[in-house]
């Protein structure tokens, strides 16, 4: 019997934690299956897809930088979420052999968020205008949120994101990152989410002083290396609730795991998985 297998592709790829996550779940469930990694350069992407269409047992792949957009025209169809985000992070080979592009980053981001109260007029403050921010906007809309203040260094890029399909279901105000903070007299945000690479190892921290923000602010950092970013450390010191980057990483992987292997990820072991990912 052919063992089902999947993999993550990117350039570079050594840093990906996906093989650890999927391998852990397969092992915990006692299921046969394999999840590897493949280094695919941009010039080899079309050949990679053509070869995998025929590969025995191949269920699909996760897609990381720099292929999330370039892979889209090579596939047979896209889910609505992939269209809305404008990027694919999971490719699944269907029963008929066709390749369907999904985006599990948006639901992976949203998984840890509460649903919006119907009467909420508090905005979410989101920093960034790249791929992670795009997924976060779709995730916020899926949870029923409507108002977003979008901060980015390159303001024109943020304006473009606000006008895109990802921003279409939201009421978005764009601000320069230098103005990060609750504006006097305005309704205070309920969420501050970082979707930039600020705070990553070797990068400067998010330039924010949390002292003027509300005590009940939820602070979400998508960066997971390090897991305790300066932003999260400052929020915890202020007694604020926080969500770290592994929540999204594990959440999006669980969706892909179900699509590849037809199995529900055993999330009761999240604590053990987190320990494995941070050692």
Positions in the binding site for ligand NDP (CB under 6 A):
105, 128-133, 152-154, 157, 177, 195-198, 200, 204, 222-224, 245, 248-249, 252
Residue with smaller CB distance to ligand NDP, 197 or 278: 197
Residue with smaller CB distance to ligand NDP, 10 or 128: 128
* 230 and 161 Cβ atoms separated by less than 8 Å: no
Residue with smaller CB distance to ligand NDP, 198 or 217: 198
In the three-class reduction of DSSP (H, G, I as helix; E, B as strand; rest coil), residue 95 is classed as coil
The active-site residue out of 67, 68, 93, 134 is 68
Residue with smaller CB distance to ligand NDP, 84 or 105: 105
Residue with smaller CB distance to ligand NDP, 63 or 132: 132
Sign of torsion over alpha carbons 250, 225, 231, 89: negative
Concatenating the DSSP letter of every residue in 103-133 gives --HHHHHHTTSPPPPTT--PPEEEE--SHHH
How many Cα neighbours within 13 Å face the side chain of 256? 33
In the three-class reduction of DSSP (H, G, I as helix; E, B as strand; rest coil), residue 229 is classed as coil
Single out the residue of 140, 144, 142, 137 nearest to residue 165, CA to CA: 137
CA distances from 174 to 85, 128, 182, 207 (A): 18, 11, 13, 17
What are the two backbone dihedrals, phi and then psi, of residue 249, each rounded to the nearest 5 degrees? -60, -45
Helix 245-261 to helix 18-29 angle (10° resolution) is 60
Q: Residue 67 Cβ, how far from ligand NDP at the closest point, in Å? A: 12
Q: Residue 204 Cβ, how far from ligand NDP at the closest point, in Å? A: 6
Q: Residue 95 Cβ, how far from ligand NDP at the closest point, in Å? A: 29
Residue 68 bears catalytic tag: yes
Token pair in block for residue 16 = 């990906």
Report how far residue 193's alpha carbon sits from residue 174's, in angstroms, rounded to the nearest whole number.
15
Residue number with the smallest Cβ distance to ligand NDP:
130
Q: Residue 114 Cβ, how far from ligand NDP at the closest point, in Å? A: 19
Q: Residue 130 Cβ, how far from ligand NDP at the closest point, in Å? A: 2
Which residue numbers are catalytic? 68
């Amino acid at each position: 019997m052919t063992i089902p297998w999947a993999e993550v592709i990117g350039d570079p790829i050594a840093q990906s934690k996906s093989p650890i996550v999927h391998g852990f779940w397969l092992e915990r469930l006692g299921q046969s299956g394999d999840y590897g990694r493949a280094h695919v350069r941009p010039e080899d992407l079309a050949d990679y897809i053509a070869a995998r269409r025929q590969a025995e047992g191949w269920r699909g792949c996760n897609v990381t930088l720099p292929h999330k957009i370039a892979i889209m025209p090579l596939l047979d169809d896209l889910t609505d979420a992939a269209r809305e985000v404008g990027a694919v992070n999971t490719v699944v080979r269907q029963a008929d052999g066709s390749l369907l592009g999904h985006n599990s980053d948006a639901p992976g981001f949203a998984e840890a968020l509460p649903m919006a109260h119907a009467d909420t007029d508090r905005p979410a403050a989101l920093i960034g205008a790249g791929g992670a921010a795009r997924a976060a906007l779709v995730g916020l809309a899926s949870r029923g949120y409507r108002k977003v203040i979008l901060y980015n260094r390159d303001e024109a890029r943020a304006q473009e994101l606000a006008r895109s399909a990802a921003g279409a279901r939201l009421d978005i105000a764009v601000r320069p990152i230098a103005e990060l903070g609750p504006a006097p007299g305005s309704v205070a945000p309920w969420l501050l989410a970082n979707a930039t690479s600020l705070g990553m190892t070797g990068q400067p921290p998010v330039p924010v002083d949390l002292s003027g923000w509300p005590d009940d602010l939820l602070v979400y950092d998508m960066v997971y290396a390090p897991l305790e970013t300066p932003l999260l450390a400052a929020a915890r010191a202020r007694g604020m609730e926080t969500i770290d980057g592994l929540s999204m990483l594990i959440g999006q992987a669980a969706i892909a795991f179900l699509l590849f292997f037809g199995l529900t990820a055993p999330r009761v072991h999240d604590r053990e998985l987190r320990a494995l990912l941070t050692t």
